[in-house]
Amino acid sequence: MLNALYIHIPFCRSKCPYCAFVSLPGQSQLHGPYQQAVAKELAILRDRFSPTLDSLFIGGGTPTALPAAMLGSLVERCRQLFSVSDKAEITVEANPGTIDLEYVRVLIDHGINRLSLGFQSLQDNELAALGRQHSGAQAVAAFRAAREAGMANINIDLMTGIPGQTQGSWERTLTAALTLQPDHCSIYELTIEENTPFGDKKNWREGDLPGEEELMAIDKLTLDLSSRSGLGRYELANYASTGKQCRHNLVYWHNEGYLAVGAAAVSCINGVRERRIADPARYISRMERGVDVVVERETLAREASFRETVVIGLRLLAGVSRRRLQDRYCIDPIEYYGTTLAHLVSLDLLTVSGEMIRLTDTGRIYANRIMAELV
């Protein structure tokens, strides 16, 4: 059943040197035509599917690089074309420095009920190292403005592994972020991606980035502080208060189908993954000329999809359900993985309890290696 839709907004105010997402700095002349093109693609989607949306996620890029009314009109368009459930979670990703009280009020007026704020850090030296265009004070001000406007569900994105980050600076960032009482917190480690200025940089020196020991101490601090703040860890990198787990990401972690529109957006429908053309100008031009914007289609074989569902699902602390896997793929994971799984259980990295298979506390530390064995 399809009930999640992702809309990609590929624009930012500037390009961060670590970013591998499809996003262009500036290009405000494309914003209007892009909105029109997305609205057109939404109508095409309606002709192919008739979903009841339970989750609508406008991500980027920086969606809030666009005027609030433009984002609002995309939500309105979805309401005209699809059935949107009364309790749908409608998220917009935002960066500090691009929103204020009035901006968020407009979003709320259009039914947007969740904001995901990209803080990354609250230390100005770390934000500068990441090439972010906002300060820590601006991030706090953006959060407060959103709350004052009436936004009841706010996520904060934070990052570990930042150049110059220490246990102490992380403790200051996390403590200050949690003091704001966000409903959800995502904490990812910086990855140095190829074909980015960070990836191309040849002169990283020892100590530029936090080392393994420092990162382990940072992870431990995260667990201690988040549990004291009332946010429960429900996914390897995600924490939420009760009932505020991100609905859209849960669809990804359960490896279920989802719709997507926009440049570079990837949908997954009935086991077929479709990737749209990445360049926003070419995306607009194709939509205007009525040319297909999908440039890549991949049909997932049953076994590959099964393994993917296991590996992604193990990111959830609840784990993966053996029964659901059997119902969906007619494959029993215990038989399928045989001695590999038994070995991981004997090392106390995985546990099988009732119908659920999940990572243990130790397993979560070595999650990447375990997933590499199972994929």
Residue 118 vs 333, nearer CB to ligand SF4: 118
Among 15, 46, 233, 358, binds ligand SF4 (CB under 6 A): 15
Instruction: Return the DSSP state at 330.
Output: S
Q: Are residues 226 and 247 in contact, defined by beta-carbon separation less than 8 angstroms?
A: no
Interaction mask 106-125, ligand SF4, x per CB under 6 A: ------------x-------
Task: Kindly state the smallest distance separating residue 23's Cβ from ligand SF4, in Å.
Answer: 4
* Site membership for ligand SF4, residue 61 (CB under 6 A): yes
Sign, Cα dihedral of 139, 140, 143, 148: negative
Among 3, 55, 62, 121, binds ligand SF4 (CB under 6 A): 62
Q: d(Cα 182, Cα 177) in Å, to the nearest integer?
A: 8
* Site membership for ligand SF4, residue 31 (CB under 6 A): no
User: CA 251, 283, 17: angle at the middle one, nearest 5?
Assistant: 70
Q: Are residues 105 and 146 in contact, defined by beta-carbon separation less than 8 angstroms?
A: no
How many residues contact ligand SF4, by CB under 6 A? 11
Among 2, 12, 260, 316, binds ligand SF4 (CB under 6 A): 12
* Site membership for ligand SF4, residue 138 (CB under 6 A): no
- In SS3 terms, 147-196 reads as HHHCCCCEEEEEEECCCCCCHHHHHHHHHHHHHCCCCEEEEEECCCCCCC
Among 55, 95, 123, 173, binds ligand SF4 (CB under 6 A): 95
Residue 12 vs 293, nearer CB to ligand SF4: 12
- Region binding ligand SF4 by CB under 6 A among candidate stretches 12-20, 217-225, 308-316, 327-335: 12-20
* Site membership for ligand SF4, residue 21 (CB under 6 A): yes
N- to C-terminal Cα distance for the chain?
25
Task: Kindly state the smallest distance separating residue 16's Cβ from ligand SF4, in Å.
Answer: 3
The residue nearest ligand SF4 at its CB is 19
Residue 103 vs 306, nearer CB to ligand SF4: 103
**Residue 295 φ then ψ, to 5°:** -110, -5
Task: Kindly state the smallest distance separating residue 3's Cβ from ligand SF4, in Å.
Answer: 26
CA 205 to chain centre: 30
Q: Which residues contact 101 (CB under 8 A, 6 or more apart)?
A: 145, 148, 149
* Site membership for ligand SF4, residue 96 (CB under 6 A): no
Q: d(Cα 109, Cα 99) in Å, to the nearest integer?
A: 15
Q: Which residues bind ligand SF4 (CB under 6 A)?
A: 12, 15-16, 19, 21, 23, 60-62, 95, 118
